[in-house]
Amino acid sequence: MHTMVLSAVAAATAALSLGALAQSPAAPVDPNAFLNQFEATFGKFEGYRRSGAKGICATGEFVGTADARGLSSASAFSGQPVQVVARFSVGGANPKAPDNTKGQRNMALQFNLPGGESWQMGNISAPVFGSSSPQQFLGRLASLQPDPATRMPDPAKVKAFADANPEVLLQGRHFASQPVPASFGAVNYWGVHAFGFVNAGGTKQFGKWIFEPVGGVQGLTDDEAKAKGPSFLFDDLRQRVKDGKVAFNFNLELAQPGDRIDSATVPLPEGRKKVNLGVLKITSVAEDAGGACLTITYNPMVLPKGVEPSADPMIAARRALRRGPGAAPDRRAKTAVTLLFL
């Protein structure tokens, strides 16, 4: 019965126009549809992650604060050093994406916690994501799919979808307003979703986090970016880490009653109280394409006790697209995708 309903819904979903698709938040999205759409829109890059394809592994150490312990019982905030496996990447599906253009940079993290617990997150260099629901994301990707004749997205299709879903333009506006990042280690990274922090007394506080570089945000002028060329970020990161210059304050902006906490396209209002949860120091960067991050699928639903997801529908949608158990490193990622209905 359930499967029939789902396939009926899936068929109906396919028949809906792009605009209507985004307007029907209840329609489940088949993860396979996402994977196919990623490839149809951005091209096929065998063996690479479909997003954040151009990436590098790193490791680090996190130490939590007393303020964090007041907000959450998570062992990450014990005050003892916690080992972290990081992956820095350039946004998008292209493993040869240029480093010297404006756009998304990513910092994905796995905190290795006592007792076999872990905490995974994929953070981006914008305070908002490009869509607020899986259906809208799929519609947006479809609207950007290149026209076979021109091999370019059809501007009328892109505009029609964006007119019907104006929030999909917010992230692009943020990137356009920022300089080219000078380094993976000198840009802010937002979690974009709200999470609930639960302390030992059972009190839950929702908030949205941001990793802010201790050394400050640094951007390049257009001339500097041009001079840097398309592949400088990996070596830059290696050098800054060697010099001990890559560390981030892990800060939480606290939501107040009435704030939207269920949308990845609506940041918390300006001026919300910000609590420092601790400092993440990056201590090593892979010298090649290897590293411990290769076998990690950064799933934001992997949370420690003391941290809970909000009702943001995008959090669960991200989980569904993680590669299945036994997925080998990047080179063979394609074959092990687990298909889960959302």
Q: Considering only residues 264 through 283, tell me which ones interact with ligand HEM, judged by CB under 6 A.
A: 264
Q: Tell me whether residue 322 is exposed, middle or buried, using C-beta atoms within 10 angstroms of its C-beta: 0 to 12, 13 to 18, 19 or more.
A: buried
> What is the 8-class DSSP label of residue 4?
H
Cα angle 138-140-146, degrees, rounded to a multiple of 5:
105
Binding mask 178-197 for ligand HEM (x = CB under 6 A): --------------x-----
* Residue 333 is a binding residue for ligand HEM (CB under 6 A): yes
Q: What is the dihedral of CA 108, 208, 116, 341, to 10 degrees?
A: -80
* Residue 171 is a binding residue for ligand HEM (CB under 6 A): no
Q: Give me the least distance between CB of 242 and ligand HEM, in Å please.
A: 22
* Residue 318 is a binding residue for ligand HEM (CB under 6 A): yes
Which of 54, 87, 208, 334 lies at the binding interface for ligand HEM (CB under 6 A)?
87
Q: Identify which range of 180-188, 265-273, 302-310, 311-319 contacts ligand HEM by CB under 6 A.
A: 311-319
Q: Given the complex with ligand HEM, which of 17 and 335 has the nearer CB atom?
A: 335
* Residue 106 is a binding residue for ligand HEM (CB under 6 A): yes
Q: Please give the size of the binding site for ligand HEM, defined by CB under 6 A.
A: 26
Q: Given the complex with ligand HEM, which of 51 and 183 has the nearer CB atom?
A: 51
Are the C-beta atoms of 305 and 74 separated by less than 8 Å? yes
Binding mask 13-52 for ligand HEM (x = CB under 6 A): ---------------------x--------------xxxx
Q: Given the complex with ligand HEM, which of 192 and 237 has the nearer CB atom?
A: 192
The 3-state DSSP class for residue 123 equals: strand
Q: Given the complex with ligand HEM, which of 49 and 240 has the nearer CB atom?
A: 49
What are the structure tokens assigned to 36, written together? Answer: 């196919």
How many Cβ atoms are within 10 Å of 23's Cβ, its own excluded?
15
Q: Considering only residues 124 through 153, tell me which ones interact with ligand HEM, judged by CB under 6 A.
A: 124, 129, 134, 137
**DSSP H helical segments within the chain, as ranges?**
2-15, 18-23, 31-42, 66-71, 134-143, 155-164, 170-177, 222-228, 233-242, 313-319
Q: Given the complex with ligand HEM, which of 75 and 128 has the nearer CB atom?
A: 128
Q: Given the complex with ligand HEM, which of 175 and 199 has the nearer CB atom?
A: 175
Q: Considering only residues 202 through 261, tell me which ones interact with ligand HEM, judged by CB under 6 A.
A: none
Are the C-beta atoms of 272 and 94 separated by less than 8 Å? no
Q: Give me the least distance between CB of 1 and ligand HEM, in Å please.
A: 26
Q: Which amino acid is at 187?
A: V
Q: Given the complex with ligand HEM, which of 17 and 36 has the nearer CB atom?
A: 36
Q: Give me the least distance between CB of 9 and ligand HEM, in Å please.
A: 17
The residues near 97 (Cβ < 8 Å, ≥ 6 apart) are 53, 54, 90, 91, 103
How many Cβ atoms are within 10 Å of 89's Cβ, its own excluded?
25
> Phi-psi category of 287—alpha, beta or left, where left has phi over 0 and alpha has psi -120 to 50?
alpha
Helical (H) or strand (E) element with 63: strand 54-64
* Residue 89 is a binding residue for ligand HEM (CB under 6 A): yes
Helical (H) or strand (E) element with 284: strand 274-285
Return d(Cα 84, Cα 90) in angstroms, integer.
20
* Residue 285 is a binding residue for ligand HEM (CB under 6 A): no
Q: Give me the least distance between CB of 93 and ligand HEM, in Å please.
A: 8
What does the binding site for ligand HEM look like in residue numbers (CB under 6 A)? 34, 49-52, 55, 87, 89, 106, 108, 122-124, 129, 134, 137, 192, 264, 297-298, 314, 317-318, 321, 323, 333
